[in-house]
Amino acid sequence: MDKDDLKIQPEKNEGEKPEEPENALVAGATTDTADSMTEKALADKTDKKELKEKIFRISAMALLIISFVYFTAYGFLSNPFLESGTASEIGLKYPTAFKFWGFTTSLALTVNLIYTYTRKPLGNGKAQLAGYVCMALGVLCLMTCVHIPSTRVPGLQMYAHWSTALLFAVFFAAAIVLHLLFPAKPNKKYKITLICFCGLLLAIIIALIAAGKNGFIESLPMWAAYIIIFLDNFTPVLDMKEENRK
């Protein structure tokens, strides 16, 4: 019998796990560290995204409120119930204030509608693109309008001023209507708001034809637009609960 046969072999317990190699332990620790770093990076990315959204929201709200206040105050620089109380007529007396009115109005509406379109994308991609195009054209028309003084003398200047003023209203109204008309999910409140908004615009057109233009009638669609945008962006008034979408 060999001497090797006489050596006592250590007994192995069936339930005992084999010792893990050192490199396996290192690999496991490295994996845990990588996972922890990934989770931290994702958390940081989420925090940054939430911070950007919060800044966007606060900025949009501040611009909307400031623009609404300035728009209203500007309209009372003259008697709003007379023809001389329209924004264009006031602009003849206060040209700098008129240009600032155009700047704040276009900035506030554009930023807030972009916020609306970003937070609540439309259900139709083409309609969403059309909405952005309408915003851009609305800004272009308004900024052109405020740099062409109004006049009561028929001619190129008068037609250019009033056509750009009208197109500004049409393009921004279209951006709002598209948002209400093509929501990503069915929304009865949007339909009701759309009907009321379109009804108001029709009533204003009839009033302008019947009574002539004045500052108060001219301001109504803008006030309505400010209210709709504020309710949609910063309150749950126009939101639909899931159980009520049927």
* Number of domains making up the chain: 1
pLDDT of residue 49: 82
Cα 229 from Cα 224, distance rounded (Å): 9
| Mean per-residue pLDDT, 209-236 | 93
pLDDT of residue 6: 47
Domain limits for position 155? 49-244
Cα 184 from Cα 186, distance rounded (Å): 7
| Any domain includes 18 | no
| Any domain includes 5 | no
Between 37 and 215, the more confident residue is 215
| Any domain includes 105 | yes
| Any domain includes 213 | yes
Cα 41 from Cα 50, distance rounded (Å): 14
CB 186 within 8 A of CB 238: no
pLDDT of residue 208: 87
| Mean per-residue pLDDT, 216-232 | 95
Structure tokens of 181? Answer: 């008309």
pLDDT of residue 33: 67
CB 155 within 8 A of CB 94: no
Structure tokens of 235? Answer: 């309150």
| Any domain includes 126 | yes
pLDDT tens digit sequence for 114-151: 999 999 999 999 999 999 999 999 999 999 999 998 88
Band the pLDDT of 35: cuts 50, 70, 90: low
pLDDT of residue 17: 52
| Any domain includes 12 | no
42: pLDDT strictly greater than 80: no
| Any domain includes 71 | yes
235: pLDDT strictly greater than 80: yes
CB 81 within 8 A of CB 216: yes
159: pLDDT strictly greater than 70: yes
Please spell the DSSP secondary structure of the chain, one letter per residue: --HHHHSPPPP--TTPPPPPPHHHHHHHHHHHHHHHHHHHHHHHHHHHHHHHHHHHHHHHHHHHHHHHHHHHHHHTTS-TTSGGGSHHHHHHH-HHHHHHHHHHHHHHHHHHHHHHHHHS-BS-HHHHHHHHHHHHHHHHHHHHHTTS---SS-SHHHHHHHHHHHHHHHHHHHHHHHHHHSBSS--HHHHHHHHHHHHHHHHHHHHHHHH---HHHHHHHHHHHHHHHHHHHH-STT---GGG--
pLDDT tens digit sequence for 76-122: 999 999 888 899 999 999 999 999 999 999 999 999 999 999 999 99
| Any domain includes 189 | yes
